[in-house]
Amino acid sequence: MGSTAAAPCHIVAVPYPGRGHVNAMLNLCRLLAARDGVTITIIVTEEWLSLLGAPAALPDLGLRVRFEAIPNVIPSEHGRANDMVGFMEAVYTKMASPFERRGVPVCIMCPISATMFAVQYNFHLLPPAAAGGGASPDITGSCFVENYIPGTKSIRFADLAPTHTDALLLDKILEAHSSVKKAQCIVFTTFQELE
């Protein structure tokens, strides 16, 4: 018997507008587009499309990958660090909602390690002092996150300080993780030996 052709599949990729997310999404799209029957539309803001340059200049994405732009509904990339919480709020409300209304199956691509994702996803299991970065007998010294979240050995509470001591930023990070429950799957850009 002869082999049957793969059913056509159209993927719409909407990367979070940050370099680590966009670059990882472009690499994933390149790999997916190499499969028979797969076409991909990458949707970014007009500003991000100009930052990426001409589609022909992008890293060998192939003929089955195209770009579409949506209006600049979020603050500019050039000043987002001044109000990261406001930027994240705009992404969650103004950029994501039109796609959520369509009700299509969702796959989340997560550019952080699976271990850090596990910490953030299960942050509610940590002692309250961990969220505020305050000193507590529970989280000082060599206290490890693994005492609260299994499988996260060698991560100390002090290692979380850069992103987990700003309460507003932490709320936005945790809000992003709540959307995981809407997804059919999660793809991590890591490999077992690092985890």
pLDDT at position 47 is 92
Predicted confidence pLDDT, tens digits, the chain (195 residues): 556 666 789 999 999 898 888 989 988 998 899 888 999 999 999 999 998 876 655 656 777 888 999 999 888 888 877 888 888 888 888 887 777 788 788 889 998 888 888 888 888 888 776 655 544 545 555 577 888 888 887 787 777 766 666 777 778 888 888 888 888 999 988 877 767
pLDDT at position 132 is 54
pTM of the model: 0.76
Q: Write down the domain spans for the chain.
A: 8-104, 115-183
pLDDT at position 162 is 65
**CATH hierarchy code of domain 8-104:** 3.40.50.2000
Q: Write out the two tokens for 54.
A: 């001409």
- What would the DSSP string read from start to end of 66-101? EEEEE---S--GGGGGGGHHHHHHHIIIIITHHHHT
| CB-based contact 170:164 (threshold 8 Å) | yes
User: How far apart are the C-alpha atoms of 160 and 157, rounded to whole Å?
Assistant: 5
* Residue 33: C-alpha distances to residues 10, 67, 188 (Å): 10, 13, 18
